[in-house]
A and B are shown apart, each in its own frame.
Chain A
């Protein structure tokens, strides 16, 4: 990340294995061919179907293969700004780390993730009440 910004979303009432599933789906709506990497193991997933959401808690989602290669070559270089989203699942929340939350794709992705997870969290709480 190049001076990343954190967006924290409450997911304490959302089934844990679904949280990053929703996050990746929302990102995929904007970046149709992302490369997803497990932050803990470095395992890379080229296809959504292969991501083991029950087993991961930290994902790096690159815009596409070019972005992935560029990050590998240059790391957190300004040239790579806004081409990767880091999603970290905690006990009660998920944190999205983005370079610039005001950038249009980032803003739209963050909003979509919030609009997807916040109602699920609310409904989950209602169901458990």
Chain B
């Protein structure tokens, strides 16, 4: 695997953390994602050239984004969500600058049915002197308004920045099983190949204020016991077994030992 492929795979892993992976699973959508990220990096590099040195990082390449994920996962989550909402590279750059500390000074949005959708955002950078304005007439860019972190300061309106939205784990909610236990909530999704007669359950631990965490999978066999494959640390093994036993208790052997029926 080349370095570029490794970086792209790492981005796909991050998409799983925010339940956006199903959107970008088709190869055409993957291409859209990485094309958008490249264009975003190019627009960012161009915009930052006009900014005093040291105020903002010089680049926003795929490598930079992955490094930022290790330090500030929520910034990368919001960026990827904005890409999923089809925001243009220009507006992605605006959002990224805000996530890196720029203040939102002004937001103007004007919509005329079947005619126009115009967004203009003015930022003040952290040197407190440089202002940068972003404008877009692309209707999908209005989706950026969904991420605004509204607040108040002394009863006056304030937008503290952009925030990541919690997107429910679509696959788990729509298709398979869910259980709550004293040790946490878990979801199970069948990920066995189409031809398989028995399910292979991918188990995720679900949190209210953190992204879902893959803890492993359980493969069901026609004869013999299920096979557990925990993901990552050894501590996930007992959690995986606990989740599986809780699912069995809730739904019964018959449901968990056969493949789920799915619509469509």
| Cross-chain contact A112 with B209 (CB below 8 angstroms) | no
| Cross-chain contact B74 with A17 (CB below 8 angstroms) | yes
Contacting residue for A53 out of B72, B149, B160, CB 8 A: B72
Scan B133-177; emit 1 where CB is below 8 A from any A CB, else 0. Answer: 000000000000000011111100010110110101000000000
* Total number of A residues with any Cβ neighbor in B under 8 Å: 35
Report how far A44 CA is from B224 CA in the complex, Å: 57
Contacting residue for A48 out of B70, B101, B163, CB 8 A: B101
B-facing residues in A109-129 (Cβ within 8 Å): 111-112, 115-116, 119-120, 124-125, 127-128
Q: B residues within 8 A CB of A72? A: none
Total of A-B residue pairs, C-beta within 8 Å: 93
Report how far A116 CA is from B144 CA in the complex, Å: 19
* Total number of B residues with any Cβ neighbor in A under 8 Å: 30
| Cross-chain contact B154 with A111 (CB below 8 angstroms) | yes
| Cross-chain contact B160 with A54 (CB below 8 angstroms) | no
Given A12-B208, A14-B209: A25 and B161 interface contact (C-beta under 8 Å): yes
| Cross-chain contact B101 with A47 (CB below 8 angstroms) | yes
Main secondary structure of the interface of A (DSSP, over half): helix
Report how far A71 CA is from B210 CA in the complex, Å: 35
| Cross-chain contact B72 with A52 (CB below 8 angstroms) | yes
| Cross-chain contact B100 with A49 (CB below 8 angstroms) | yes
Scan B201-226; emit 1 where CB is below 8 A from any A CB, else 0. Answer: 00000001110000000000000000
Scan A49-76; emit 1 where CB is below 8 A from any B CB, else 0. Answer: 1011111000000000000000000000
Q: B residues within 8 A CB of A51? A: 72
| Cross-chain contact B166 with A49 (CB below 8 angstroms) | no
| Cross-chain contact B166 with A15 (CB below 8 angstroms) | yes
Given A15-B166, A18-B74, A48-B126: A29 and B208 interface contact (C-beta under 8 Å): no
16 A-B pairs whose Cβ atoms sit less than 8 Å apart in the complex? A12-B209, A13-B208, A15-B77, A15-B210, A16-B209, A25-B161, A48-B101, A49-B56, A54-B72, A54-B74, A55-B70, A55-B71, A112-B158, A116-B158, A125-B208, A128-B166
Q: List chain A positions with a Cβ less than 8 A from chain B.
A: 11-18, 21-22, 25-26, 28-29, 32-33, 47-49, 51-55, 108, 111-112, 115-116, 119-120, 124-125, 127-128
